[in-house]
Structure 1
Amino acid sequence: MWLLDRFLKKLIRQGQLIIIESNGQRHTYGTVSKNTPITVRFHDPEAPDFVAIHPYMGSGEAYMDGRMTVDDEDILGLIDLILANTVSDRASMLEGGVIPRTIQSMANKFQRLNWKARSKQNVAHHYDLSDKLYHLFLDQDRQYSCGYFTDTHNSLDQAQLDKKIHIASKLALKSGQKILDIGCGWGGMALYLNRVADVDVLGITLSEEQLKVAKKRAEEAGVSDRVKFKLIDYRQVEGRFDRIVSVGMFEHVGPPYYKSFFNHCRDLLADDGVMLLHTIGRLGLPGTTDPWTNKYIFPGGYCPALSEVIGASEHSGLIVSDVETLRLHYMYTINHWYKRVMAAKADIIKLYDARFYRMWTFYLAGASAAFRFGQMCNYQIQYIKKRDSLPLTRDYMFENEAVLKASEY
């Protein structure tokens, strides 16, 4: 316990953390505040040092395995407390601990090598989980990406609809156009664009489970002749498209492949075409994916700094025509997911087991805190090939958005 005790005495300056060892010994860190103290209990004597030596990996695995518990299952409160105290401390225990950063950096570089076969394997690890799991915590349209909150009190379903409206407005769609949706998920974006703009859409995915659902939805909507879905890597797509949209897929491309990704998108995009890339990103400088997330949640995943995206795309000749930073929208989205997962505890344990449930809550809690206190954000980057492909001002976006909202509300 001495190593963890040493960390926490330096770390906790605001809020209060209580640690109870397996022998009952109690330790208190920080100061009394208006917030309820967070109480962590260790259930074997080796667990505290395991967490101290392998900070994020150790805490995640200890929580998953039941070696560490949090009173009231408030894992979100614990991670919020830790990150609130480390937001300005770049040498925080969560980022490095006693594991040399050079080792983690080298490991991350290898893990980002997402060649075709590995990309499919990585996608299957996360997205080919039971369809019932995603039904339990996502919105009705299965949007597994950042919502758009025009009001923080909006429901999850409204925020996800508003996200689709927001993106469609930036695409400046016209009837009869041909659209490519890279990383189409369960088909919600493709079906929406077809419904509101009378366009033909090809959605591509590497998830066999998502493909089944997307195809079924298109058939049920009676538009399978105009909204088609394929199990194919983006590198294998051929043809020309008036619009390209990609939401929540770029995080799986990997920095070594950024230039080829944009080069291929350039070749697929019509001369007067428009592309909209929606991706999780990081504020400030490039970084690394924490080892726990890479191992258990998104193998091969990486959230880029804006400089990495723009630096890669500028080699393709694509013109960056608009950039928007969504700073807190994903935190609000994930908080909805977290609450739904907590409410569905019994169903998730029945579907998998208690360890999986704890893993999933730890993942969502950590993600929420990263968007609130850490470096995470979302970027929406619009690209064109010709500088006169869109109106001179951004007014058309707001006008399109108003029209689409009026048709929905």
Structure 2
Amino acid sequence: MHNQASDSKYLEAARRIFTHVAETADARISVRLWDGSFVRLGDNATEQWHIAIKGPEVLGTILRKPTLENLIRQYASGNIDFNGGPLIDFYEMLRSRGPRTQGVSSSRIKKRLNKWYLFKQALPLLLARQGDTAITHQFRGNDSGRVQSARDEKSFIQFHYDLSNEFYQLFLDPEMQYSCAYFTSWTEELEQAQQHKLDMICRKLRLQPGDRFLDIGCGWGGLLCHAVQHFDVVGHGVTLSQKQYDFAVEKIRRLGLANRITVELRDYRELSGEYDKIASIGMYEHIGIANYTAYFNKLSSLLRDRGILLNHGITRRAKHSKWQFARITPGRRFILKYIFPGSELDHIGHTLAKMEACDFEVHDVEAWREHYALTTRLWCQRLEARKEEAVRLVGEERFRMWIAYLAGVSFAFQDGSLRIFQTVATKHDRKGPSTMPLTREHLYLSAP
């Protein structure tokens, strides 16, 4: 506990810091200090939407290390809170400016701050004792996955996907689609948009009765079951997640599809045989850019000549230099350590070049960025609405991590720093026609 004199010193320092921020930022939110008092961060700020700070040691910890990861750790451990409504709505409120800074970028506002003044005011807080930010939910191994000899694909996948099937059921649709939905209107329900996605994938693959269909990274089996039930294919899927595998096997049994679908708990690199169509949905983000040649060569070896591949995955914008693109940003560092260890996002141009180098002919590339912004927003809202159940399943810390992750990703897609593409390609093993349709008309006809 702090004595009255030191606590008063900390409070005055905090008020001076946030008052200066308010003069510069003109934000629409407030800060609630540990004594219950509020500092408005703009002329039109409201106390309803506010950041609550648990104590001076929390503010001191953030000031000593003002990184995104540290901020999220403070939130995950309950040392700071965002109040007024759902986190994704709070972030929207934070991004909206008052009249004085309307249209001014965050980077320009930061430049306007008097850094020397802030440092002088922060000194008492910088000397406050270190806050407790112990986090239990994080990947303990080589999370970047860039050292190929240290990559542990199964550990990477199970860290994320084996959290709990019941947890994912709180915010996913009944088909357990953990990838971008396809909306025909921005007011459409998530469940219907995910059905549109499944149909669109099957039409892009031109699935025909009897086709040998492979789903790489098949998740909870939703696409496999949909393809077999509606397009009469013979399906096979692989996953490295034990919980996904168990769920998929039980679903296939319950639907009476065991004679048409097989699923293995297996690395795709161990597969053999030949398939007519292959889907890779939300899979290649886990591969690592250095492994793309091996990845696409393996898919090519599994596909018959003129067979169709649909590669669906998240990408980033290309940069002016390889160094800029390879740099691990603060947001990506958080994702690697706490959410998706071993993941790496390419830019679409490089991916297409790798596909062509591995004997694929690219036919169609479709951007779904805004679809994923809405998908992740809905996931975030649905999960936060079932907070009590989520906390019972995975604990407060993990729940907060996931809310922060889904909200951040939604805005990254909305703003354009993240993108997502569906790429349709055929294996081009010999010269001649591709056998693909002349137009895209087949994509927008009703499924058979």
TM-score range (shorter-chain normalised) is 0.7 to 0.9
Q: What displacement does 1:183 show?
A: 0.7
Cα contact 1:284–1:375 (8 A) shared by 2? no
Q: Which runs of 5+ in 1 are unaligned?
A: 94-106
Partner of 2:427: 385
User: Which residue identity does 1:326 align to in structure 2?
Assistant: W
Q: Which amino acid aligns with 2:224?
A: A
Distance (whole Å) between structure 1 residues aligned to residue 227 and residue 148 of structure 2: 29
Listed one character per residue, the Cα deviations across residues 322-376 of structure 1 (whole Å, up to 9, x for unaligned) are: 1000121112112221222122111112223222222221121112121122411
Matches within 5 A, 1:7-406: 12=25, 15-23=27-35, 26-30=38-42, 32=44, 38-52=49-63, 53-72=65-84, 74-80=86-92, 110-113=144-147, 118-285=152-319, 286=325, 288=328, 290-386=332-428, 387-398=433-444, 402-404=445-447
Residues 234-288 of structure 1: CA distance to partner in whole angstroms, max 9, x if unpaired? 2111111111101111111111111111111111111010100111122343464
Distance (whole Å) between structure 2 residues aligned to residue 136 and residue 87 of structure 1:
38
Superposition RMSD in Å: 3.0
Q: Is the 8 A contact 1:84 1:373 kept in 2?
A: no
CA contact (8 A) 1:319 1:384 kept: yes
SS at match of 1:16: coil
Q: Given the superposition, is the C-alpha separation of residues 353 and 88 from structure 1 closer, same or farther in structure 2, using an over 3 Å criterion?
A: same
Q: 1:48 to 1:75 in 2, by over 3 A?
A: farther
AA paired with 1:257?
Answer: N
Q: For residue 290 of structure 1, give the secondary structure of its aligned residue in structure 2.
A: helix
What is the deviation of 1:59? Answer: 1.5
SS at match of 1:173: coil
In the superposition, the TM-score normalised over structure 1's length comes to: 0.85
Shift of 1:203: 0.6
* Change in 2 beyond 3 A, CA 1:131/1:116: farther
Alpha-carbon separation, structure 2, partners of 1:389 and 1:84: 51
Distance in 2, matches of 1:374 and 1:36, equals 31
In the TM superposition, what whole-angstrom CA distance separates every residue of 1:268-315 from its partner, at most 9, and x where no partner exists?
A: 111010100111122343464622221111111223221231232232
Give the letter for the 2:249 counterpart.
K
Shift of 1:42: 1.0
Once the 2 structures are TM-superposed, how far is the Cα of residue 184 of structure 1 from its aligned partner?
A: 0.3
Decide which structure has the larger Cα Rg and report it: 2
How far residue 195 of structure 1 moved from its aligned partner, in angstroms, is 1.2
Shift in Å at residue 110 of structure 1? 4.3
1: distance between equivalents of 2:20 and 2:203? 48
The answer to whether the 8 Å contact 2:143/2:337 transfers is no
* Alpha-carbon contact 1:273-1:389 (below 8 Å) kept: no
Q: Is the Cα–Cα contact under 8 Å of residues 19 and 28 in structure 1 kept in the other structure?
A: yes
Instruction: Report the secondary structure of 1:278's partner residue.
Output: strand
How many Å apart are 1:204 and its aligned residue? Answer: 0.7
Following the alignment from structure 2 to structure 1, what is the Cα–Cα distance between the partners of residues 275 and 19? Answer: 58
